[in-house]
Structure 1
Amino acid sequence: MDAQIRVVLVDDHPVFRIGMAALLDSLDGVSVIAQAESASAARTLFSGRGEEARGDRSTSESRDGVADIVLMDLDLGDGSGIDLTRELVDAHPGLRVLVVSMHEDDEAVLASIRAGARGFLVKSAPPEAVERALRAVSAGEMILSPAVAERAMGYLMGGHRAVHVPFPQLTPREREVLDLVAHGLDNTAIARRLSLSPKTVRNTVATVLAKLSLRDRAAAIVRAREEGLGSDGSA
């Protein structure tokens, strides 16, 4: 019998983790061995300390040489999945990361691949696409969703020019929140728009202000609009 593909899920949305774990555990030769709900929990998990990352086996079983693939979200509440991908790949060279994100913009894809991810899927991908991607990454292949692959081919063929991405130091979610701030939405309205808690939005705005060295929300609006955010049709 083929060896099991041992998977760790890193995502801050419990409903998504539960659904993805159920899907993966239903596949032949695939086992979800652990889950982490934040960047800090994932770091603890792969360092072998503590019980923050919950799974159906002990956290120590997800150390180097045991976990094969990490399904990684980009927005983890307490950190960037891109940064975490880079850390895990550097620390565990045999580990393969498959990004599964709500975001499909070119900057997010390129940043993920540069960080060492072996594939990129959107969360709306059908179950058969998830299975295909998982098995391809396990076999050492690079996998992209069809829409992402088509755009990437367009760039390679010279069909598109590079697009300016404002504030590349921000994560896709931070940029999305900043765009809505620039539209004049308050935290409650942004939370409703993005299906987040007001606290998460408040923390994200604070992170954006810190990263951009801005003193307050008004300054953020001015700076964001200078970079083209907050214009009609960008929300």
Structure 2
Amino acid sequence: MSSIRILLMDTERLVAEGFRNLLQSFKEFSVVAVTHDEATTLRQLRRHHPHLVVMGPGAGGNGGMDTARAIRRSSRHVRIIVLASSRQPIHMREAFVAGANAYLSRDIDAQELRDTLLTVHREGVALSAAAAGQVLELVSGGLSRDASPLDLLTRREREILFLVADDQETHHIAARLGITPKTVRNYLSRIYAKLGTRNRLQTALYALRCPDFHPQSVVKT
């Protein structure tokens, strides 16, 4: 596996150095920059083009969400991992609305952190089932008792879900819908977050087992 480039951002220098040493201890990762403020983060983002941005628990004002939004505007395809001290659903929601791909507790152990970063790099998102349920309820504004998570999907997301359930590869989906493979992966990340699934297989099984999913209702282009 080629090295996964990581930009680490934390306003607390000692904390940032500790995370840098931890991440560098894993052979899969290369920390290409450590930053302590938004302006430097954006400059280093343009310079190094990292695969992942890990925002530490001291990522700055507003929990770092302003910086997360700026990162997302600057680079659509970089994946953002928020390490936070708060486990409140409202803070999780704010992180995902700001563009985060994963929201992790700062007391995560080293092996779980490694595995989660690898999942985010590979699949685009990582979210525990418990956190997914909390975020889903907040994002939806409170689903009714009989509502389905599928109701949160846009028409395009349902199209892609149908094709994933039909075992179509990413490049085939892209060609069929007239979009790029990266765009498909971005849609998949949002689908995973909304359904609380972690990968394509779980998502396909979810769709196939869900009585609310009717492929014939999907408009195919």
Query: Does 2:114 align with 1:131?
Result: yes
CA distance in 1, matches of 2:62, 2:135: 27
Assess, with a 3 A threshold, how the Cα gap between structure 1 residues 149 and 68 changes in structure 2: closer, same or farther: same
Number of aligned residues: 142
> Any idea what the Cα deviations from partners look like across 1:194-231, whole Å, max 9, x if unmatched?
xxxxxxxxxxxxxxxxxxxxxxxxxxxxxxxxxxxxxx
Assess, with a 3 A threshold, how the Cα gap between structure 1 residues 79 and 43 changes in structure 2: closer, same or farther: farther
The offset of 1:73, in angstroms, is 3.5
Assess, with a 3 A threshold, how the Cα gap between structure 1 residues 101 and 78 changes in structure 2: closer, same or farther: closer
Structure 1: segments with no counterpart, 5+ residues: 48-59, 160-235
Tell me what 1:15 maps to.
14
Identity, % of aligned positions:
20
1:33 aligned counterpart, secondary structure: strand
| Counterpart amino acid of residue 79 in structure 2 | R
TM-score, with structure 2 as normaliser: 0.56
Tell me what 1:83 maps to.
66
Which is bigger in relative contact order (C-alpha 8 A, separation at least 6)?
A: 2
Tell me what 2:104 maps to.
121
CA distance in 2, matches of 1:28, 1:141: 20
The offset of 1:105, in angstroms, is 0.9
The offset of 1:74, in angstroms, is 6.2
- Asked whether the 8 Å contact 1:103–1:122 carries over to 2, the reply is yes
Larger helix proportion of the pair: 2
Matches within 5 A, 1:48-87: 60=47, 62=48, 66-73=49-56, 75-77=58-60, 80-87=63-70
Runs of 4+ in 1 over 2 A off after TM superposition: 43-47, 73-80, 144-159
The offset of 1:46, in angstroms, is 2.9
Assess, with a 3 A threshold, how the Cα gap between structure 1 residues 79 and 44 changes in structure 2: closer, same or farther: farther
The offset of 1:15, in angstroms, is 2.2
> Any idea what the Cα deviations from partners look like across 1:76-99, whole Å, max 9, x if unmatched?
346652121122122212211011
Assess, with a 3 A threshold, how the Cα gap between structure 1 residues 152 and 114 changes in structure 2: closer, same or farther: closer
Tell me what 1:97 maps to.
80
- Asked whether the 8 Å contact 2:8–2:33 carries over to 1, the reply is yes
